[in-house]
Amino acid sequence: MNCLEIKNINYSYQTLEAETLALQNISFTVQEGEFVSIVGPSGCGKSTLLNLICGLAKADTGEILLNGTKLTQTSAHIGYMLQKDHLFEWRTVYSNVTLGLELKHHLNENEKEKVQKMLDTYGLSAFSDSRPSQLSGGMRQRAALIRTLVMEPDLLLLDEPFSALDYQTRLEVCDDVHKILKEQKKTALLVTHDLSEAISMSDKIIVLSKRPGHIKSVLEIHFDNSLSPLQRRNAQEFPSYFNIIWKELMDYEK
């Protein structure tokens, strides 16, 4: 079943001087429970596409459907993780995680129990009363992910959420996030500049061209399901996938 359908999306930036076509005839689907990455050169419209999906911007033409329903505004069924974790220093880890539930007046006993279970499961229960500054970068990202997941989104948008982490922490957090999303059976769409990250985490990769961004290719990724993202990097299939995508990205003019 398709969770997300993108149909013939076009989008232009409007300025006083000119109109710039950013995305051109974008169409693809994301199936329920699938992890899909979008890669492409800087400025090709990757983050813009996420903004269109979550309703922060409106396409010139085309349709975006979530679970078969056309999206016309922001949706509570979509979660969005940005490059920065945006945890509030004046709130504890627990109160940061529960912020969305508080704002929607949904922080009841059942939700509190669910939050505590997630903090226990993902190694943050001992830091519930800590401030974000007392956490490592990887722990902060786990907290931000839990804050998003407790809202039970049908679709999770990830806009380079690991880019601010050092390389070792980034590898560890990729493993953590991938495990959490698979356990939760969540559908996710990741924007990243890191090809290795995309290959190691994804079921499918969409390659965008330079601006105006259009889809150059869609690559299905197949690994042993028991492998973590870190283990996939050492799998024999990995170099072939990397070379295919690298060639697509280097061949912008064709």
**Total length of the chain:** 254
Which range in 14-18, 24-28, 139-143 is most confidently predicted, on average pLDDT? 24-28
Residue 129 per-residue DSSP state: T
- Residue 76 contacts by C-beta under 8 Å, 6 or more apart in sequence? 104, 151, 153
Task: Express each pLDDT in 159-192 by its tens digit.
Answer: 998 887 888 888 988 898 898 889 889 999 999 9
Would you say residue 83 has pLDDT above 90? no
Round to whole Å and give the CA distance between 55 and 35: 20
Mean of the per-residue pLDDT values of the chain: 91
- pTM of the full structure: 0.90
Task: Express each pLDDT in 198-221 by its tens digit.
Answer: 999 999 999 999 999 999 999 999
